Amino acid sequence: MSQEFDLPHLNERFETETAAQIIAWAVQTFRPKVAMSCSFQTQSLPLLHIISQVAPDLPVMFVDTSYHFPETLVFRDQLVREWGLNLQIVRAAPPRGAAVQPPEPDLYRRNPDLCCFINKVEPMQQTTAGLRAWISGIRRDQSPTRAKSHILEQTSAGLLRVHPMANWTRQDVWQYIHDHSLPEHPLLSQGYLSIGCAPCTQPIFTGQDERAGRWAGQAKTECGLHTVLRGGMVDAPKETVDVENE
């Protein structure tokens, strides 16, 4: 990838271009080996909406952990239907995925990193292995772990991470939603500004970091999709063997 593109130059250029222009470049450059990932929460709406206008046939990957809020799944299906999105469901393959079901129903509490690896990181790692570019909606102002994100980032495995909204602010997101009259996730009005799996997500208070409700009370702040996988292929956290053999 670095032999084909001058990433520092492209990153400088894309800082002043629109998300639509960045997406169009990625799709034109890497199709058919390019896809977008989305959690179908309110913060995802601008990028999803732009995709529906610029590249409606682009695969939209949704990691189904089996722990999502029912409202998230209903909202996902609504947007897929109304916007004509090309939804691609990503799931953990048995028997590894079965490790977080009984007899380990509390794995998300006992070892949330392993739970995220089994249900999110590993399935996405396998899915993106055949891609050249992966588009996602992370922003620098979302959390300290994302503050230094570039619009384009190359992993050691050769995958190009594309972040068209990296330089957007929270206000930019809400302005876009307002300007285009986009719907809201059903749980937004209850204080869920960032939504992941139901057991690991709670509402936040005014003024808190928008991801403060994720894994609240724990040192964990990311599932690993946008941190661990930046380096390319990764191995499972500790206890994987123990869980699989139980």
Number of residues that this document lists for the chain: 246
Count of Cβ atoms closer than 10 Å to residue 172 Cβ: 15
Strand bridging mode 34-37 / 86-90 = unpaired
CA dihedral of 192, 195, 197, 199, whole degrees rounded to 10: -20
**Which residue do the tokens 């979302």 mark?**
142
Q: Indicate the DSSP class of residue 232.
A: S
User: Which amino acid appears at position 206 of this protein?
Assistant: T
Catalytic residue selected from 115, 197, 200, 223? 223
- Listed in sequence order, the residues at least 6 apart from 115 whose beta carbon sits closer than 8 Å to its beta carbon are 100, 107, 108
Q: Is 223 marked active-site?
A: yes
Angle CA 69–75–80, to nearest 5: 130
- Which three-class secondary structure state does DSSP give residue 86? strand
Catalytic annotation, residues: 223
